[in-house]
Amino acid sequence: MTDIGSTPAELPGKAHGRSGSLLTESPMMKSRNAAEFRFRAYGLTAIVVALLTLAITLFTIVRDGTPAFFQAKLTYQVFIDAAVVDKNGTADPVEMAKVTTIGYARLLSNSLLAYLDEKGVAVEGMTDKEITDMISKDAPARLRDRVLADPSLVGQTITVKALVGGRIDGYLKGRVTRESSANDSNVTPRQLDMADRMVEAGILRSGFNWRFLTAPDASDLRPEAAGLGIALMGTLYMMMLVLIFTLPIAVAASIYLEEFAPKNWFTDLIEVNISNLAAVPSIVYGILGLAAFINFAGLPSSAPIVGALVLTLMTLPTIIIATRSAIRAVPPSIRDAALGVGASKMQTVFHHVLPLAAPGILTGTILGLASALGETGPLLLIGMVAFVTNYPASPLDGGFMDPATALPVQVYSWASRSDPAFIERSSGAIIVLLIFLVCMNIVAILLRRRFERRW
């Protein structure tokens, strides 16, 4: 018998210090409620702090990086003087290739001076050299490529869009100011005045910078010309190869371990090893890649194929773990039913288990690829943190063997350059990298939402 019922007189008794109603708080309940309130507050603070950090990071990256997507260009008429670019009048590109970019730089400079004269754009006390220094060092190379590709341009006057130097571009973007230019050895206040005049005259215009996404890297003398083209291609090649390498291996390994392998100490050992490998720092794989693929197997350094092999080793354990849990999530009743109607073990796996596990496998793979996408450490050691300006060939021509870089290493190498214009490009590259990551994660989420089945 309980003693509560036996002494009804004492039940709600205030003599014991208990409140009579649930609605009035006792001191104990008060402290419990306060504890809960505090706990919620801690949780909320944690989330606010996390969101704030994210917001600050995104804000600074977007603020610093957005200008990289815009670039100022000079648009003016250039007379392609045959006396400079084709002295012998052969119109033969091989012969004309002997004229270096120095010759084309002179063409661009002279034409700009003449064009400014014609338009009456001038700044008091400005030397010709100051004006011509405003043209990017990249412009002659572009013009040379254009003329060599089409020798019929010789002797004509053509409209040229030439990049303007990094500091002038920085002035239009607000990075370089008149105060800073007074102390800056690479730009004079007169050049900034000239830039203002040119903008008024419509010669200098800022526009969306497609070349940031397509052009190759550039040296420290011409930050305005640097682009992500090769890094994007290198990343794309690597991701393709990583997908091709990891998916079959991961799926085969997981199916075998989950469906066929006997449960004994050996498979346990494999399982522990896979979990451990997933936690190995990525730089270790870089050292392994250098020793195994470059020094031993003799693959070329800086090549996407080596990068892909290293990243494959790095992501395999993660993808195997994800794939195994996806396979494990398929209920045994499905297998039993298939086996019950006479399917072989292999038919069961390939006709029933694998299709049902596919969304989970794909999600795991995409998330694994996304982590490989942002990896820099292992690539440092296999020579992908390099200055590369030749596009790799198409995959069919052995492009996987050509030197290339990758998005995250481009961020790293730009961040350590001395010209401040590269800092802006580095942030711009981060934006591109983040867009990639977000896209991949969205695809993973969509796949999961669309195809995932719950039992």
- Applying CB under 8 A, the site for other proteins has a residue count of 54
Assess 298 for contact with other proteins (CB under 8 A): yes
Contact letters for other proteins, residues 123-142 (x by CB under 8 A): --------------x---x-
Q: Footprint of other proteins on residues 397-416 (CB under 8 A)? A: 398, 400-401, 403, 413, 415-416
Question: Nearest approach, Cβ of 269 to other proteins (angstroms)?
Answer: 27
When the beta carbons of 319 and 385 are compared against other proteins, the nearer one is 385
> Structure tokens of 6?
């036996």
**92 belongs to the binding site for other proteins (CB under 8 A):** no
Quick one: which H or E segment has residue 157? strand 157-163
d(CA 300, CA 302): 7
- Contact call for residue 247 and other proteins (CB under 8 A): yes
* Rounded-to-integer distance, Cα 415 and Cα 429, Å: 10
Question: Could you tell me which of 397, 404, 367, 399 has the C-alpha nearest to residue 382?
Answer: 404
If the CB atoms of residues 309 and 321 are measured against other proteins, the closer one turns out to be 309
Residue 12 to residue 6: CA distance in whole angstroms:
13
Q: How many beta carbons lie within 10 A of that of residue 453, not counting itself?
A: 11
Using CB under 8 A, which residues numbered 160 to 219 contact other proteins?
Answer: 176, 180-181, 183-186, 218-219
User: To the nearest whole angstrom, how small is the minimum distance from the Cβ of residue 414 to other proteins?
Assistant: 10
- Using CB atoms within 10 A of its CB, is residue 130 exposed (0-12), middle (13-18) or buried (19+)? middle
Interface with other proteins, residue 11, by CB under 8 A: no
Report the residue from 92, 220, 268, 336 that binds other proteins according to the rule CB under 8 A: 220
Cβ 298 to other proteins shortest distance, Å: 5
Identify which of residues 10 and 220 has a Cβ nearer to other proteins in the complex. 220
- Please provide the size of the chain in residues: 455
How far is Cα 228 from Cα 411, in angstroms, rounded to an integer? 10
Kindly tell me the burial class for residue 452, based on how many C-beta atoms sit within 10 Å of its own C-beta (0-12, 13-18, 19 or more): middle
The Cα–Cα gap between 249 and 252 comes to: 5
- Least distance between other proteins and beta carbon 44 (Å): 32
Among positions 68, 294, 356, 432, the unique one binding other proteins when judged by CB under 8 A: 294
Best CA proximity match to 151, nearest among 216, 215, 88: 88
Q: Could you tell me which stretch among 82-90, 123-131, 152-160, 395-403 binds other proteins (CB under 8 A)?
A: 395-403
Distance CA 187, CA 336 (A): 77
The interface region with other proteins, picked from 61-69, 258-266, 296-304, 330-338 by CB under 8 A, is 296-304
Residue 127 has which token pair?
């030397």
425 is an interface residue for other proteins by CB under 8 A: no
- Closest separation in Å from C-beta 272 to other proteins: 28
Q: Of the ranges 231-239, 267-275, 290-298, 440-448, which one interacts with other proteins (CB under 8 A)?
A: 290-298
CA angle centred on 242, ends 239 and 246, rounded to 5° = 145
Instruction: Give the span between the Cα atoms of 274 and 254, in whole angstroms.
Output: 11
Which residues form the interface with other proteins (CB under 8 A)?
Answer: 97, 100-102, 137, 141, 144, 176, 180-181, 183-186, 218-222, 241, 244-245, 247-248, 294-295, 298-302, 305, 380, 383, 385-390, 395-396, 398, 400-401, 403, 413, 415-420, 423
